[in-house]
Amino acid sequence: MKNLRHQSLEAIEDLLKEWGEPKFRAAQIWDWLWKKNAGSIGEMSNLPKALRERLGTEFGITKVVIHHSQFSSDGTIKNRLQLHDGHFIESVLIPTEKRVTVCVSSQVGCSLSCKFCATGYLPRLRNLEFDEIVDEVTMAQEQALQHYGRPITNIVYMGMGEPLLNYKNVLRSIERITSSDGMGMSPRRITVSTSGIAKMIRQLGDDGIRFKLALSLHAATDEKRSEIMPINETNDLTMLKDALNYFYQKTGNEITFEYILFRDFNDSLTDADALVKFCRQVPADLVNIIEYNPIEAADYEKPEENSVSAFMQYLESKRVNARLRRSRGRDIDAACGQLANVNHESAP
């Protein structure tokens, strides 16, 4: 049975024309799919029963469902989500005074094997479909209204998986989220984070995307970055610098660097100086300095507070726009790098 949400509006119009149905029925179906987030064809109450039954013989709607949720003492909510084929992913809803951000996954597992990231120790089982990513956002929207009394304001593709290795589905999900006949969210409130796929960063530039881009940098020398991020062996800092400059020339869009501090690995003033030098080669708007959140599989540790302070002061002295980002949801393993699906099951 085909997934009705994978059909374009034009395809639905053509099908209904073939069936002898009026064209406006397609708009009604589309509204149910992307405005009302229908979970089944049976919910489409303004369609004639005969049409619903006929649609139901050829199409279905596969929805992501919440398997269970965990609630942090700081208000963060982590959702374990079950896909139609039995796989699991995780998403995180993060409230602050000014924002409500949802962090979404783009793959079941990950193939990049970053040494500090819990997801990196899982196998990549498959890419998410675009509508599954949209479901992550719409469910987060419902939770935000229920628990915080306000809607989500920002979306970050920083959950499980590498978004640029699921390029088409990620872009199509953003098209649905930002469309006037979808959620209507501004692309300026969406950030896609990548571990650094130079070829696909250039593709983003060629495609003229309007959302923000974040690079998970974490070390500003090839030697250290390759040690913790194997992707750097084939996408080194020179390649990434050139790709990011190409992206910026094409789009003018905001670029952010993400830099996790690890004790006695990348938290010295020498490391800070290397970061400053890299920043001067790329028009980055911001460097997010992130506290490391330990995981059982890795030996890295959180840095000392005095090292963090010295690192931040050095960046400030060199006029680098840096912000220290304190982790949220650490008590429920929802913080940066902790999404692991420890109890994940594979599809039968």
Q: Does residue 335 surpass a pLDDT of 60? A: no
Neighbours of 300 (CB within 10 A): 20
Looking at 3.40.50.620, 1.10.8.80, 1.10.150.530, 1.10.10.10, the CATH number of the domain 2-60 comes to: 1.10.150.530
Cα 38 from Cα 44, distance rounded (Å): 7
Q: Where are the domains of the chain?
A: 2-60, 65-332
Q: Where are the alpha helices (DSSP H) in 229-298?
A: 237-251, 269-279
pTM of the model: 0.93
Nearest CA-CA partner of 244 in 231, 257, 234: 257
Q: Which of 103, 117, 279, 336 is catalytic?
A: 336
Q: Tell me which amino acid residue 184 is.
A: G
Our answer to whether residue 90 is catalytic in this structure is yes
Kindly report, residue by residue over 257-271, the tens digit of the pLDDT.
Answer: 999 999 999 999 999
Establish whether 223 is a catalytic residue: no
What is the tens place of the pLDDT at every residue in 93-134?
A: 999 999 999 999 999 999 999 999 888 888 899 999 999 999
When pLDDT is averaged across residues 226-254 and rounded to a whole number, the result is 97
Per residue in 301-333, pLDDT tens? 999 999 999 999 999 999 999 999 876 655 655
HSE, CB side, 13 Å, CA atoms: give it for residue 1. 13
Return the pLDDT at 342: 46
Quickly name the fold that domain 65-332 has.
TIM Barrel (3.20.20)
pLDDT at 346: 34
The active-site residue out of 13, 21, 90, 136 is: 90
